[in-house]
Every structure is written in structure tokens, then in C-alpha cells.
């Protein structure tokens, strides 16, 4: 071969060997550009030039920053992902009597358990799911999100219906939740048949054996099933599984922190610090949006006009990419980060689970740590499309060279899987953005009710 031939061959080999390092990043950048192009003109970014970080909470918490769906092209995409029933999903309901009715019901359902009952329920469900792992294997290779989803399916079924979750219903719930979160992350398309099976089950259940807390009276029977499906068997299950996947992966990749917890010498405050630090580094929301219903006045700046789409960027506000992973900083009021809003802002539709989410994560994490040591070598990103590959090693016996080999294989598999997945996400994401825009679920809903108007913005979460 000629020298030029060798050179070209060498370049081709380097390009292919380096695929895991450059392709996923390039594809993500391309995806953002395609989303922005298909989504249309931009909204107001916070923090950003228009809304600096110092004003972030004030603007987010302003009473006029209260629109949720109507008037943003972005809403068509979220309604598409959260179907069926996005029009009664608490996160996307416009403020008003219907929202109040739904939010009150959610609060009542969640308030039905004392802290002791939450602790007992989450501990019991976690143990049951962990018992299903092969008892003879010393090392389990799992995806943390998949491991945790059945736990939260069981927990939230019991929270709603106050009865243990039958196995086939647990499968319906996890199929629904997994389908929604996979579509949101563009790693899969929507499968409406999977979601419809859960709706059919819930409708039947509500007709014959409704839950003890009365469901919103402003909703029809079908909408009541959608409400439970959206808030509890999608949002609750997905958010808790994602949060736990981040927490356990953070422990798996920060062994000194995990070892301190496993030693039994740390109190619950330290684990809470690890949870807070995890939510600071890997907030579950990328961007939460609001549509302004009136002008928002500001000191020394032009007011934000009514009808603006505000894009509140969590990772940017919390400085998620920066500091090293340091749970100890949460133990002291002087070192605790002030820019931290893992559950939203209190003044503007915060998360209804904020009072006990950390407690329930702690209980589930303690159950896992009691049985297993966690080890992983994969990339830990905020959107975690890999679902958190991890090794669970039984807390008996010694570490060996075999484990180091398995971790090396895990790392290699993760980086090559990332190459393929980023291409899949590009194609499926572009298709869903186009399809959501074509279907215009939110646009058409408001147009049918009163001739609503729309403004275009790019996709965010």
C-alpha cells in the first residue's frame, strides 16, 4: 500500500475507534438544532440574558408565570409524550377550578400515609422486588431504572388503592411508565396499545372498586382513569425510578461515599446529603416551562410581556455540571448551595411529593445497600438514556480480578451502545417532534374549546 493509503487507513481506524467519544456529542448537538428548527422561534431563557440567575426564582414564582400548556408549541410535544389524557395531567392543566380539584385530590391521596407508613411500604416493596433477583448469583448486572420501576409501581398502586398491587397490574404500570419515559428520552417510540391496556384496567377498577379518596368530581369517568394514570402510574413511577437510578449510580461511581454509608457509622443525614447532592448534579427536570398570563414587572428592566414562554433551566440554575460530588456540603447551613430547586419553586406549582420523596428514596437505598455493593463504570449523564447499567455485588465474599474485568466490559459496552443509541435518538426524536407538531394535540384542544393562539418555542425537557 502507498504511504497515502496507509495514512487514510490510519485515519479511518482512528475515526471508527473514536466513535464513542465524538459521535454521541455530535448527534446530541445536531438533535438540539433539529428540535429548535422544528419547534420554531425561541422562548425566554432563565437563567439567561433576559432573566439573570438573581431573578430566576422571583420570575418563576411570579403569579403571572402560571400558564402551563396553552400558547406554547412545546406543549404539543409534551402532550404527545404524556398521552393519553394529557389535558387532565396535573402538570399540564391550566390554573382554574379543574386544576384546583385535581391538585387537591393528589394532595389528599399522598397525605393518606404517615412517615412510618411510607417507610414500611417502601421498605416492603423494595425487599419484595430485590427478592426476585436470582438468589444464587453473586453478581447481578442490572439497569438501575428497570430494577427500581416495579418497586414504585407497587408503592404507588398501594398509595392510591390501599391494597397490595397484583403482579399483572404491576406489569401494566411498568409497561406504561417505561413507554412514556423512553419516548421522552427519544430512545423509543410511543406504544399507545401498552398505555391503553392500563387505562382499560383502571376504568374497570374505578367502576367496580374505586379508591378510598374520592377522585376529582370535575372529571368524567374516563378522565379520572387518565388522571390516575398520568399523575401516579406515569409521573410518580417515572420520577422516583429516575431519581433512584441516579442515586444508586452516583453511589456506584463514588465508592468512598458508598463505603461510608455501608460502614453504618453515618446517620440518616449523610444519606440525605447524598440524595440532595444527586438531585443537585442530576436534576430530573431539564427545562420547566411556563406561559405568562400577564406582564411580569422587573426592577430596572423591561417587563416580560404577557404570552411569553419562559424556559426555566434547572441544570444551568443549579450549576449541575460543576462542583465535585460532595454530599458533606449539605450537612452545614453555611456550605449548602442556595441555588437548589429539585422540587420546583414553592410559589408556583411545586412538586406535591416534595415532603416525602427524599425519605422514600432513603428507605429504598438503605434496602439495596444492605444487600449489595454497587459498582459501575458507565457514563453518568443527567438524561441517563442508558437506564444506569450497574453491577450489584452480594455483600459476602471478596472482590476479585473477575469483577475488574466485568467493569471493563461494562464500560466498553456502554460507550459503544451510546454510539448506536445516539443515532436512534436522533431519528426517533426528529420523527416524534414532527409527528407531535402534525397532530397538534394541545393546539387543537384549545382551538376546539375557544379558538386558542400558539407561539413557537424549541423542545426543552
Contact 274, 251 (CB under 8 A): yes
Q: How far is the CB of 177 from ligand HEM (least distance, A)?
A: 12
Q: How far is the CB of 259 from ligand HEM (least distance, A)?
A: 24
Q: How far is the CB of 351 from ligand HEM (least distance, A)?
A: 3
Q: Rounded distance, CA 407 to CA 403, Å?
A: 6
**Rounded to 10 degrees, what is the CA torsion of 21, 22, 23, 26?**
140
Q: How far is the CB of 435 from ligand HEM (least distance, A)?
A: 24
Grid cell of 385 as nine digits:
438514556
> Closer CB to ligand HEM, residue 285 or residue 372?
285
> Closer CB to ligand HEM, residue 285 or residue 446?
285
Residue 360 belongs to what H/E stretch?
helix 357-371
Q: Rounded distance, CA 398 to CA 48, Å?
A: 51
Peptide bond into 84 cis (omega under 30): yes
Q: Please identify which residue in the block is written with the cell numbers 455530535.
A: 26
Q: How far is the CB of 34 from ligand HEM (least distance, A)?
A: 24
Q: Rounded distance, CA 24 to CA 419, Å?
A: 6
Q: How far is the CB of 318 from ligand HEM (least distance, A)?
A: 11
> Closer CB to ligand HEM, residue 246 or residue 373?
246
Q: Residue 340 — φ and ψ, nearest 5°?
A: -140, 115
Q: How far is the CB of 67 from ligand HEM (least distance, A)?
A: 11
At 67 the three-state DSSP class reads strand
Residue 10 belongs to what H/E stretch?
helix 3-17
Q: Please identify which residue in the block is written with the cell numbers 417510540.
A: 189
> Closer CB to ligand HEM, residue 235 or residue 425?
235
Residues engaged in binding ligand HEM (CB under 6 A)? 90-91, 103, 106, 231-232, 235-236, 239-240, 243, 279, 284-285, 288, 342-344, 349-353, 357
Q: Rounded distance, CA 83 to CA 191, Å?
A: 10
Peptide bond into 276 cis (omega under 30): no
> Closer CB to ligand HEM, residue 202 or residue 279?
279
> Closer CB to ligand HEM, residue 31 or residue 349?
349
> Closer CB to ligand HEM, residue 37 or residue 354?
354
Q: Rounded distance, CA 344 to CA 283, Å?
A: 10
Amino acid at each position: 500500500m502507498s504511504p497515502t493509503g496507509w495514512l487514510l487507513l490510519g485515519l479511518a481506524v482512528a475515526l471508527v475507534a473514536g466513535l464513542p467519544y465524538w459521535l454521541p456529542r455530535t448527534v446530541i448537538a445536531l438533535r438540539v438544532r433539529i428540535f429548535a428548527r422544528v419547534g420554531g422561534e425561541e422562548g425566554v431563557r432563565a437563567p439567561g440574558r433576559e432573566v439573570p440567575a438573581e431573578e430566576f426564582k422571583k420570575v418563576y414564582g411570579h403569579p403571572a408565570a402560571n400558564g402551563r400548556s396553552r400558547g406554547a408549541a412545546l406543549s404539543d410535544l409534551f402532550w404527545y409524550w404524556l398521552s393519553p389524557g394529557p389535558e387532565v395531567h396535573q402538570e399540564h392543566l391550566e390554573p382554574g377550578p379543574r386544576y384546583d380539584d385535581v391538585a387537591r385530590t393528589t394532595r389528599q391521596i399522598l397525605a393518606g400515609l404517615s412517615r412510618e407508613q411510607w417507610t414500611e411500604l417502601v421498605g416492603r416493596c423494595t425487599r419484595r422486588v430485590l427478592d426476585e433477583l436470582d438468589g444464587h448469583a453473586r453478581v447481578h448486572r442490572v439497569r438501575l431504572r428497570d430494577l427500581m420501576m416495579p418497586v414504585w409501581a407497587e408503592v404507588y398502586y398501594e398509595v392510591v388503592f390501599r391494597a397490595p398491587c397484583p403482579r399483572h397490574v404491576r406489569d401494566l404500570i411498568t409497561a406504561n411508565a417505561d413507554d412514556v419515559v423512553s419516548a421522552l428520552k427519544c430512545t423509543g417510540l410511543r406504544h399507545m396499545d401498552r398505555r391503553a391496556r392500563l387505562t382499560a384496567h383502571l376504568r374497570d377498577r374505578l367502576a367496580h372498586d374505586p379508591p378510598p379518596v374520592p377522585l376529582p368530581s370535575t372529571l368524567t369517568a374516563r378522565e379520572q382513569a387518565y388522571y390516575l394514570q398520568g399523575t401516579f402510574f406515569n409521573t410518580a413511577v417515572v420520577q422516583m425510578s429516575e431519581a433512584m437510578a441516579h442515586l444508586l449510580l452516583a453511589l456506584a461511581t463514588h465508592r468512598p461515599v458508598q463505603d461510608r454509608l455501608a460502614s453504618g457509622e453515618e446517620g440518616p443525614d449523610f444519606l440525605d446529603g447524598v440524595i440532595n447532592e444527586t438531585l443537585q448534579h442530576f436534576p430530573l427536570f431539564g427545562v420547566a416551562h411556563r406561559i405568562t398570563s400577564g406582564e411580569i414587572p422587573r426592577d430596572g428592566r423591561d417587563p416580560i410581556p404577557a404570552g411569553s414562554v419562559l424556559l426555566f433551566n434547572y441544570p444551568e440554575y443549579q450549576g449541575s455540571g460543576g462542583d465535585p460530588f460532595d454530599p458533606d456540603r449539605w450537612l452545614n447551613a453555611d456550605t449548602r448551595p442556595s441555588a437548589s430547586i429539585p422540587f420546583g419553586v414553592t410559589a408556583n406549582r411545586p412538586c406535591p411529593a416534595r415532603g416525602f420523596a427524599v425519605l422514600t428514596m432513603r428507605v429504598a437505598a438503605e434496602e439495596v445497600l444492605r444487600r449489595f455493593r454497587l459498582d459501575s463504570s458507565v457514563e453518568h449523564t443527567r438524561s441517563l438514556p442508558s437506564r444506569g447499567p450497574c453491577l450489584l455485588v452480594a455483600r459476602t465474599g471478596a472482590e476479585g480480578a473477575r469483577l475488574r474485568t466485568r467493569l471493563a466490559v461494562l464500560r466498553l459496552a456502554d460507550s459503544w451502545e451510546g454510539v448506536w443509541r445516539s443515532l436512534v435518538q436522533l431519528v426517533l426524536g426528529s420523527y416524534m417532534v414532527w409527528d407531535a407538531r402534525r397532530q397538534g394535540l394541545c393546539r387543537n384542544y384549545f382551538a376546539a374549546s375557544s379558538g386558542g393562539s400558539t407561539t413557537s418555542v424549541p423542545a426543552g425537557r
